[in-house]
Amino acid sequence: MNTNLSLLWITAICLLFSGCSNYRELNQIGVIIGMGIDQNDSSEQPYKVTYQVINPSGLSQGSSSGGQGLPVINYTVTAQTLVEALKKASVVIPREHVTSHLSLIIFGEKLARNGLALSLDALDRGKQARTSIPIFIARGGTAENLLGVIEPFEVTPVKSILSTSQNNQKMYGIVSNVQAYEVISALSSEGKDLSLPGISINKGSKNEKQAGNLERTNPSAMQVKGLAMFRKGKLVRWLDEEKARSVQFITSEVKNTALVLPLGEKENATVTMTGVKSQIKTEIRHDQPIVHTNLNVMGEITETSYGIDLSNPKVLKEFEKKIQSELKKQITETICIAQKEKTDIFGFGDSLSRTNPSYWRHHKQNWDDLFSDAKISIKVNANIVNSGMRTNTYEIK
């Protein structure tokens, strides 16, 4: 009995000591929270990688001792590969750096136009690889510049980018966040091309990378800037506003958005839409693919400048028809652009491979051309569930 008790004590002590052996203070490591990857001008070292590292003393601004410096510090290195860049970062980062808290990756537009496929190999191959990280494109600029912007609302540029993109996805739906594993899947897929959200700086300023940016009432800030369309791993075109949102309608990624309906020369109405659900079906006729996109949306009238009686069911039915017509128009325009660029960012090819596997096996190598010529059928079903707190507009006398 005493022997067993002694063994239990020895085991407990060993576990305690083994736990402490892996413990490190925050001021002993460099926690990387963001990574920017740009194309370098040198062909011998094609990658320029920026690491955003937490500065613990800068984060303690609210403590009694006061903080020292900014909450993050950026370090940039050039290298032949991304793994080499991470190792070379030890030349400039004064602490052992860890990527376990990496929150996002940004690719510069120049690199994206030349191709992302090879750049993502390190994310999926390493023993400590993490693929649940959102990926963005620095539209019209570099990832290094984006990670250098100091904003007043969020503590770090990384947090600002994530908050802005998530807020857009929740409130307007131009783009949705795409995780690294989804990027890898799209790049290796034969039936779906990649699309990624763009991020840019809303106004250029000499102070955007300085603390002086915090002293302005209209500081430079991050903004969601369109949707990047890829073909065979290379960025080919940007979609903006309604056209970017149409992609999210087709893929059922819109959670909440506002659709403005033109009702006259100067009159319009705004419908806030929720409950978006899309269904994609494919079929083969005369050896040619036909894609059916069925969209169901619910919404409520939240603003109108048109003097009409919204208590009349017939008026609401007319509104529903206008919603259907406007959404069909926007979606058709977006699909036509994608067909012109021969980039199936909607996953129509994936749907075809599931419903007609035999046809797909024989034609998947030629899907780009088949998609560009495919007949697209679009049906929109809209339901107005509420006309707001009023049944008619104000009468100005």
**In whole numbers, what is the pLDDT of the chain averaged over residues?**
84
Query: Structural domain tally of the chain?
Result: 2
- In sequence order, which residues have a C-beta less than 8 Å from that of residue 245 and are 6 or more positions away? 172, 173, 174, 254, 257, 330
Domain closes at, from 195, 222, 239: 239
Nearest to 284 by CA among 384, 352, 184, 211: 352
Residue pLDDT, tens place only, 280-327: 999 999 889 999 999 999 999 888 876 777 778 888 898 899 999 999
Tell me, yes or no, whether 245 and 110 share the same domain: no
Q: Does 59 fall in a domain?
A: yes
Tell me, yes or no, whether 270 and 148 share the same domain: no
Domain residues for 351? 241-397
Residue 355 has pLDDT above 70, yes or no: yes
Domain closes at, from 239, 273, 294: 239
Q: What is the pTM of this model?
A: 0.86
CATH code for the domain of 271: 3.30.300.210
Q: Does 3 fall in a domain?
A: no
Least confident among 10-24, 57-71, 315-329: 10-24
Tell me, yes or no, whether 280 and 358 share the same domain: yes
Strand partners, 79: 47
Averaged pLDDT, 223-248: 95
Q: Does 61 fall in a domain?
A: yes
Q: How many C-beta atoms lie closer than 10 Å to residue 170's C-beta?
A: 12
Per-residue pLDDT, 68: 62
Per-residue pLDDT, 209: 55
Residue 206 has pLDDT above 70, yes or no: no
Tell me, yes or no, whether 258 and 276 share the same domain: yes
Averaged pLDDT, 375-379: 95
Nearest to 162 by CA among 232, 106, 81, 208: 106
Q: Does 21 fall in a domain?
A: no
Per-residue pLDDT, 66: 45
Tell me, yes or no, whether 229 and 372 share the same domain: no
Domain closes at, from 239, 268, 292: 239
Tell me, yes or no, whether 293 and 216 share the same domain: no
Nearest to 97 by CA among 158, 32, 35: 32
Q: Does 314 fall in a domain?
A: yes
Tell me, yes or no, whether 223 and 333 share the same domain: no
Tell me, yes or no, whether 66 and 214 share the same domain: yes
Per-residue pLDDT, 25: 61
Q: Does 312 fall in a domain?
A: yes
Q: Does 13 fall in a domain?
A: no
Tell me, yes or no, whether 219 and 272 share the same domain: no
Tell me, yes or no, whether 348 and 220 share the same domain: no
Tell me, yes or no, whether 230 and 263 share the same domain: no
Tell me, yes or no, whether 356 and 216 share the same domain: no
Q: Does 196 fall in a domain?
A: yes
